[in-house]
Amino acid sequence: MPITVEPNQSFFQWLINVKLSRIVIMVLAVLILTPLITHFYLSKVERSNNYITHSAHSHIDLSGDFDVTEIDLRVGVEELIRIRSSVLKELRNIEKKRQQFKQELQSYSKNIEELKLELAHQQTNLNRLKISVEQAQVAMHEALQQNTPDLALPERLLPDTVPPYLPPIPRNRSRNCKMFTCFDHSRCSLTSGFPVFLYDPDQYPVMNDGWDVDGFLKTTLKQVLGYNPHLTQNPAEACIYLVLVGEALKDMDDVSENVGNHKKLPALDAEALKRLPYWGGDGRNHVLLNLARRDLSAHSGDVFSQVDTGRAILVQSTFYHEYFRPDFDLITSPVLGPPGGDVWQECTYMLPSRRKYLLSFQGEMKANKSNILRKHLVGHDQELEKENHELNAFMLQHLKELANTFTSDKFLFEFECIPANDDSMKTGPQDWALCGTDSSRRTVLKDSTFVLIFAPTSTDYISTTLVQARVYEALRSGAVPVILGGDQIKLAYDEVIQWKRVAIFFPKARVTELHFLLRTIPDEDILLFRRQGRLIWERYLASVQSTLDSIVAILRLRLNIPAMPAETVAALSVFNKTFQPLLVTPTGEVEQEESLGPLEPPYDSPSFRRNYSLGLTHGDQIWNDWGDPFRLYATLPLDPLLPSDAKFIGSERGFRPIGNGAGGAGKEFAEALGGNSPREQFTILLLTYEREQVLLDSIARLRGLPYLHSVVVIWNSPKLPSPELRWPEIGVPVHVIKAARNSLNNRFLPLDNLKTEAILSVDDDAHLRHDEILFGFRVWREHRDRIVGFPGRFHAWDLNTKNSWLYNSNYSCELSMVLTGAAFLHRHYLHLYWKWLPQAIRDKVDEYMNCEDIAMNFLVSHITQKPPVKVTSRWTFRCQGCSQNLSEDDTHFQERHKCINFFTQVFGYTPLLNTQYRADSILFKTRIPHDKQKCFKFI
């Protein structure tokens, strides 16, 4: 049969066809000739037998003329037997050859199928390499088109001398100080890192005789400031100098009569300030801290009002309107909490939204013993004070009547302390004082939906320690502050904190409308107030640490100096520098071939690109929502996206639109990442414990996975891996990191070798196909702030106890968690897990050796207020036959029930949200033309 070579046929394929043709011809020849030969021999024997028989009969008929001997017959029979044996032998040989040919044919067929698979595999690799070459050419073209090089971090510019002496400025100028007139910016370059120097309060006291700084404050301040990354011990390089002045006045009887004439206060020694070694004559770049802790009286002293503080910035909780310098001085909250640490136990549950009392107040109007600003008031000012006093009286009378009004709402108003302190009620201006103990007030606040806070009766004050303390107590207990006279005061750190999301500011003149307003606020908004209040309290008010960090961060923000980078954990390899692990090329089961993307060298995600613009564009969100104003992170999950046309106009560098912007089906889809973000890769983070072969098999399955940057294995066992282990060579770096101890919290270590934003957290026994991984990666790129993964779970209400949650993995049309045993999440959440999440949660994870995935779901849902995203309906999460599987134990589920309820207690509510949404591939189950390819063939 003729053999032709097709134009598009390779030589290798032609050679296979030639061999097959020859084999087929030989087999056909044997099958046709064998019956013919056999028939010929049998026919010859038959003719011989007939001839002998016929001759014998003839001879008999011829009357014995011819006699056939017995020998002739025997010879004839033997000849026939010989012929038969020869034919049978020939037939056996032919059958044997036929079987050999059949086996060879099967072998060749098998080889053909293997070669076809290998050809398809090589074709897939060729397609990947073509895509890789195209992507590399695009990257090279982008580099050539770029006119300017990437910006590198400039040298850190620091001063090298202490502030030189300058003559003091006049008092009238210092009272009008602004950052641009009284602050020396030359000591604080953008790249300085904002170094802060603290005067030792014991070595440099600035108080007059008989006054001293609170011992707790002195010790705590030095301790907590030591944890601040901006602290420096070198005064020559400092940007600002902190001076702890002391607490405000404790007993107003100690104030001399000339206080009313604005001459001096006995606490602060102005001459001691000038003797500070780095004062520089005028106090520029000095920050004077007056942190109230024990004295919560309404007028707990503006110790700076009678002292010439030069160009120094004043920080305290009590300020007069007359002496406060906006955008220069800083109002802070009193230091009422512990030095630092977890403060969640101080907070109460956010639910139910409406509590026993709609509105409460505990306090008493008392006469002030000082008349600092009123003695000199004349004319119009006296009339204003009189009107203000009458308004306060009317407001008090209306509230007393409101408490006695018949209504379904309950009020708790205590306008007289029991027992009343009659000695304090003297003539003179009046103001509010606290009633009861901290414990008794907290009990009432926990039962109050709203709490009433009165602004100072005197309009001279822009802030008092008492008002700030009452706001502190309200937020700690989850009661929404309602500040009567809120339009005349400022709260702590108001230049960065959006207090209108936390408290209700109500003019005194509208007190008759107060009840109506509170009734119109729905449960959802009450919870928003309460949630935001807890965030502000925990982050900025709860402890000495948060107070000091907030003050430093706000001063740094004024200069637009970035925070110090967030700390990472050193990735220490289990191998020493001289050991070279054994590498082998993985062999085994090959996945169904599909071109899923280019094979590229590792590409790090761009980092720290928004150092100097983040505070300008997203300052409000950083301070009031999802951000962390105290640290600088390489990237954030909510970094802004460019519009679609920016991929082609002006900002196209780094983008890989599908079909170069024309779009397309599966083929074009596999050639580029597309989406709204520039190109990137992901890192696989594996946690393992003494399951070497399971781990090696999991790593081997990652060979040839597109967009994979590297694999980081956290070795959780104290027993190091055997040096004889043969590690798979998968085409990307594999880092095996030694954990300090065996803990499931190590799954989320913010290691310094994690170079991509996208982290795929995977159990060592998880079995995910390449297409599933890449589909999950593409979905995560559109939900960068959420957990995106495969195994979905949900929290269910316990119908038996009706007061707790249960962890559930049964079939459900809703889910609220995606387990991090196979899920993508942003690198930023690894930092927050260790730096922001309360230590009590990590301790509970260690106690149960369980629940770290639930904790991460709580954290992300709390920050984003969004549920996770589950992808695909097909996945095989657990490997078959893997031993030491914790989730197979019933105790595992019992512990997870307890974890959900404990985490709810820590957070104050359950942040998990339900979702009925699942992501499947576009064109999945869509009928498309034969010349088109789906995005993913099997998803």
Contact 796, 826 (CB under 8 A): no
CA-to-CA dists, residue 705 to 117, 594, 702, angstroms: 19, 11, 6
> At residue 36, does pLDDT exceed 80?
no
CATH topology of domain 582-641+677-919: Spore Coat Polysaccharide Biosynthesis Protein SpsA; Chain A (3.90.550)
Q: Give the count of beta carbons closer than 10 Å to the beta carbon of residue 319.
A: 24
Identify which has the larger pLDDT, 98 or 382.
98
Say which range, 107-111, 577-581, 859-863, has the weakest mean pLDDT.
Answer: 577-581
Question: Ranked by mean pLDDT, which of 42-56, 60-74, 324-338 comes out on top?
Answer: 324-338
Identify which has the larger pLDDT, 182 or 724.
182
DSSP secondary structure letter of residue 902: H
**What is the architecture of the domain spanning 344-542?**
3-Layer(aba) Sandwich (3.40)
DSSP 200-237: -TTTS--B-TT----HHHHHHHHHHHTTSTTB-S-GGG
Identify which has the larger pLDDT, 293 or 7.
293
> At residue 3, does pLDDT exceed 80?
no
Is 853 part of the annotated catalytic residue set?
yes
CA-to-CA dists, residue 767 to 330, 586, 772, 937, angstroms: 56, 16, 10, 18
So what's the pLDDT on residue 40?
63
Q: What is the CA angle 363-369-370, rounded to 5?
A: 115
* Residues contacting residue 221 through CB under 8 Å, at least 6 positions apart: 198, 201, 244, 289, 291, 544, 548
Q: Give the count of beta carbons closer than 10 Å to the beta carbon of residue 84.
A: 13
- pLDDT-based confidence at residue 930 (cuts at 50, 70, 90): confident
So what's the pLDDT on residue 810?
86
- Note the Cα 5 to chain centre separation in Å: 60
Say which range, 58-67, 315-324, 551-560, 786-795, has the weakest mean pLDDT.
Answer: 58-67
Q: 438, 853, 920, 931: which is the annotated catalytic residue?
A: 853
- pLDDT-based confidence at residue 82 (cuts at 50, 70, 90): confident
So what's the pLDDT on residue 881?
44
So what's the pLDDT on residue 425?
33
- Note the Cα 499 to chain centre separation in Å: 26
Say which range, 78-87, 205-214, 558-567, 897-906, has the weakest mean pLDDT.
Answer: 205-214
Contact 574, 715 (CB under 8 A): yes
**Do β-strands 822-826 and 788-789 pair in parallel, antiparallel, or remain unpaired?**
antiparallel
Contact 331, 319 (CB under 8 A): yes
> At residue 9, does pLDDT exceed 60?
no
Q: What percent of the chain has pLDDT over 90?
A: 54
Name the average pLDDT for the chain: 84
So what's the pLDDT on residue 261?
35
Residue that is written with structure tokens 């197979």 in the block: 888
> Is the CA virtual torsion 537, 538, 539, 542 positive or negative?
positive
